[in-house]
Amino acid sequence: MVVDGSKVVRKIIDQLLHQDLPGVTVLACSTGEEAMAHLAEGVVDLVTMALRLPDMDGMELARHIRENSPQAYIPIVVVSGDVQERLMNRDLSVDITDYFDKSLGPQALSTFIRGYIRPEGQVPGDVLYVEDSRVVAVATRRMMEKHGLTVNHVVSVEDAIEILDKAQDEGRLGADIILTDVYLKGGLTGGDLLEVVRGRFGYSKGTLPILVMTGDDNASNQTALLRAGANDLVQKPTEERLLITKLGFQLRVARALRAQAGA
C-alpha cells in the first residue's frame, strides 16, 4: 500500500514496483481515509506513507493501523523529505517500523521496499561487528552469516579502530559497513567509534555506513548518536528481518554512492 497525496508520486512508485517486483499488487491511496478503507477489506504486506496527508498526519494513520488491523504486524515505512530532522527530534513514533529519506530517489525507494516484501537471498558485504557480549555476538553473527554477509567480529572499539587503521594504510576501507553496540565494557563506546570514523578517518555516511544497536529508549541519547554520524539505529533485542533489511539497504546505497564517486 502506497499512501501519498501526490498523484505523481503514487504513479512513479507504482511503475517502479511493478518493474522491480513482477506480480506485485499496489494499492495507491491519496488519503488516510482511503487507506483505512482498504485495510479494513484485506491483507497487505507493507505500507509506505507520507507524513503529510491531505486529511490527516501520517502518525495518526500509523496509530490507527496498529490499533485496528486484524493482521499480527504490518511493516509501516515513512517516506519523507524531512526524515533526518524528525529522527533528530525523535518525532517518529513507535508505530513506525522504518523510514526512507525521499532525497535518495524513487529507484532507491523501490529497492528499499523490495528488501522488506521480497528480500534477496543474499546481500554480500563485509560487516565489522563490535559487540562485547559473547551470547549476543554469537546469535547476531549467525543471523548475518545466514544471509550471506561476511562478519569480522571484535569485542572492543579499540580493536575496530586497529582494523580500520591498517586498512586505511593499505588503501582500503576495512569493511563495507559497521554494526556496533553503543554500550561496551572497554574504554571506548559505540559513540566514540562514531566520532573516530566520521572525524579522524573522515568517512561519510555514504562511504562507510554505521548501524548502532541500542536498548536505550532515551530520546536525547538516540538523537546524539544520529547527530554523531550513525546512519540508523537498531533496537535491542534485535529482530532478524529488520536488522537484515537495514543492513542490506545501507550496503546497497553505499555501494551505489561509491560507484558514482569512482565514475
In the chain, where does DSSP find H-type helix? 7-20, 32-41, 58-68, 83-89, 106-117, 134-146, 157-169, 190-195, 219-228, 240-262
Is residue 109 located within the same domain as residue 74? Answer: yes
Domain range for residue 20?
Answer: 2-117
What's residue 65's pLDDT? 87
What's residue 90's pLDDT? 47
Is residue 29 located within the same domain as residue 133? Answer: no
Half-sphere exposure in the Cβ direction for 116 (13 Å, CA): 23
What's residue 187's pLDDT? 84
What's residue 46's pLDDT? 87
**Which of 117, 142, 163 marks a domain boundary?**
117
What's residue 232's pLDDT? 83
The pTM is what?
0.63
Write the CATH number for 76.
3.40.50.2300
The number of domains in the chain is: 2
pLDDT of 125-141, one tens digit each?
A: 999 999 999 999 999 99
Is residue 111 located within the same domain as residue 187? Answer: no
Length of the chain: 263
What pairing do the DSSP bridges indicate for beta strands 150-154 and 210-214? unpaired
Q: State how far the Cα of 176 lies from the Cα of 167, in Å rounded to an integer.
A: 12
Is residue 74 located within the same domain as residue 104? Answer: yes
pLDDT < 70 stretches in the chain: 71-73, 82-94, 117-123, 219, 256, 260-263
What's residue 94's pLDDT? 62
User: Which triple of cell numbers denotes residue 91?
Assistant: 518525532
What's residue 228's pLDDT? 86
pLDDT of 168-215, one tens digit each?
A: 999 999 999 999 999 887 789 999 999 999 999 999 888 899 999 988
What's residue 19's pLDDT? 86
What's residue 169's pLDDT? 95
Is residue 65 located within the same domain as residue 146? Answer: no
